[in-house]
């Protein structure tokens, strides 16, 4: 059952349309993240759900009750702000129990529920401390406890982890997941950080320029992005420019310069459904699906001559020179200047290369997605991505 239902949500600030006809559902108990670049409208959506902004148009229903026009304090919603907004003159326990006190909850019950929340966020014994005595991660947990203590139907998060260092942010991601599961509370989380969103979310709502680009599970958005924007924004992606030379029910044939490669329709993605002959397209592949081998090694492509980029198995292939290497722990990320398609990235685990090494780069047609580039000119087959 949908706990939160958003339909046709629009917000205009004068001539600026910050949110344009946005709609999505959140099921009871889900952890959903709204993800998008700065200025995409994600925080505006969150503030409209919270009641801090009134929509220009659209509907917001919480548990089947329309809440547009209701003040924030009448909505069964709590919010964790980016700056946390803890009261510096109150103790940790007083911060957590503030909402209960405002609601007229008796002192004994407030104390009991506050202690329960301190245990939930693993801050037992911290109740008498000042927020100033806490670390950044501890303050985050106090803000979360304060948002949960009233047992709201929905908790909203406006990039609360953005000020933390990477290690602490990763720890807090795990804590958020644990607490959300243990409390069975519905979370709506806003962030521009793909790493956070991919780590914690059941589903993602991707926004750009105030419009929804795709809604789906983390796996769906990463493995089957609906557009070049989503492919770029959810993880890294390489893009090769090409032009469609043939289309049928089984495959799309793309000319990427000197040769043609047949891309299976099952791999091309839903975004390729309306691709037609002569369309300019981007053929995209994730760096982890790119194979790198020393040029001329056994198992590399037939030769290191870039004039033969496709092998008999329907692989994209070319040669190039390693220009950068970044050690990632379990693998290394290589930047390779290819002879035909400009700079490409590859994640490699089972081999090692040095800067200036000449290599063969290849990936399977079955691993790519094809996106039409509306209004683009014929691709420059001599250079970049």
Task: Give per-residue pLDDT as tens, 41-56.
Answer: 999 999 999 999 999 9
Q: Note the pLDDT tens digit of each residue in 71-117.
A: 999 999 999 988 778 899 999 999 999 999 988 999 999 999 999 99
Q: Indicate the class that CATH gives domain 236-372.
A: mainly beta
Two structure tokens written together for 60: 């917001």
Q: What is the pLDDT of residue 379?
A: 40
Per-residue pLDDT for 312 more than 80?
no
300: confidence class by pLDDT, cuts 50, 70, 90? very low
Question: What is the rounded distance in angstroms from the CA atom of residue 48 to the CA atom of residue 251?
Answer: 44
- Fold category of 2-229 in CATH: Rossmann fold (3.40.50)
Q: What is the pLDDT of residue 272?
A: 75
The Cβ-side half-sphere exposure at 63, using a 13 Å CA radius, reads 9
Per-residue pLDDT for 378 more than 50?
no
Residues paired with 358 in a beta bridge: 321
Question: What is the rounded distance in angstroms from the CA atom of residue 150 to the CA atom of residue 152?
Answer: 6
Q: Where are the domains of the chain?
A: 2-229, 236-372
Mean pLDDT of 278-292: 93
pTM of the model: 0.83
The beta strand positions in 286-364, using DSSP E, are 291-294, 315-327, 332-338, 342-348, 358-364
- Provide Rg for the chain, Cα atoms: 25
Q: What is the pLDDT of residue 375?
A: 53
Q: What is the pLDDT of residue 314?
A: 56
Q: Choose among 220, 272, 280: nearest CA to 250.
A: 272
pLDDT, the chain, mean: 87
- Phi first, then psi: what are they for 109, rounded to 5°? -70, -40
Q: Identify the residue with better confidence: 337 or 259.
A: 337
Q: What is the pLDDT of residue 188?
A: 96
Q: Note the pLDDT tens digit of each residue in 243-283.
A: 999 999 888 999 988 678 888 887 777 677 788 999 999 99
Q: What is the pLDDT of residue 137?
A: 85
CB 320 within 8 A of CB 335: no
Q: Note the pLDDT tens digit of each residue in 203-229.
A: 999 999 999 999 999 999 998 898 889
Helix axes 107-120, 166-183, angle to 10 degrees: 130
């Amino acid at each position: 059952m949908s706990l939160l239902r958003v339909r046709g949500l629009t917000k205009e600030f004068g001539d600026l349309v910050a949110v344009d006809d946005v709609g999505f559902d959140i099921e009871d108990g889900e952890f959903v993240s709204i993800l998008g670049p700065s200025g995409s409208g994600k925080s505006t959506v969150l503030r409209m759900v919270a009641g801090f902004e009134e929509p220009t148009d659209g509907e917001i229903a919480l548990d089947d009750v329309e809440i547009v026009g209701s003040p924030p304090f009448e909505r069964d919603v709590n919010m964790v702000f980016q700056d946390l907004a803890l009261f510096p003159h109150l103790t940790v326990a007083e911060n957590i129990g503030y909402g209960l006190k405002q609601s007229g909850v008796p002192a004994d019950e407030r104390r009991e529920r506050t202690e329960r929340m301190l245990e939930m966020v693993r801050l037992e014994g911290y109740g008498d401390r000042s927020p100033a005595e806490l670390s950044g991660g501890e303050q985050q947990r106090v803000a979360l406890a304060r948002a949960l203590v009233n047992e709201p139907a929905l908790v909203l998060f406006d990039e609360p982890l953005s000020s933390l260092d990477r290690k602490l942010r990763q720890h807090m991601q795990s804590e958020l997941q644990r607490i959300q599961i243990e409390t069975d509370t519905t979370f709506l989380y806003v962030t521009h950080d793909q790493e956070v969103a991919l780590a914690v979310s059941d589903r993602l709502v991707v926004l750009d320029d105030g419009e929804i680009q795709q809604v789906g599970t983390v796996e769906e958005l990463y493995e089957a992005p609906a557009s070049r924007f989503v492919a770029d924004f959810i993880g890294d992606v390489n893009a090769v420019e090409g032009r469609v030379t043939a289309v049928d029910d089984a495959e799309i044939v793309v000319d990427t310069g000197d040769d043609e490669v047949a891309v299976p329709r099952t791999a091309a993605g839903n975004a390729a459904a309306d691709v037609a002959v002569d369309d300019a397209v981007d053929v995209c592949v994730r760096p982890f699906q790119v194979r790198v081998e020393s040029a001329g090694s056994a198992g590399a492509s037939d030769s290191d001559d870039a004039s033969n980029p496709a092998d008999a198995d329907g692989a994209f292939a070319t040669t190039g020179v390693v220009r950068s290497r970044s050690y990632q722990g379990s693998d290394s990320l290589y930047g390779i200047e290819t002879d035909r398609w400009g700079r490409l990235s590859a994640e490699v685990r089972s081999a090692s290369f040095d800067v200036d090494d000449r290599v063969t780069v290849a990936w399977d047609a079955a691993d790519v997605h094809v996106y039409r580039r509306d209004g683009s000119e014929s691709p420059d087959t001599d250079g970049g991505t």
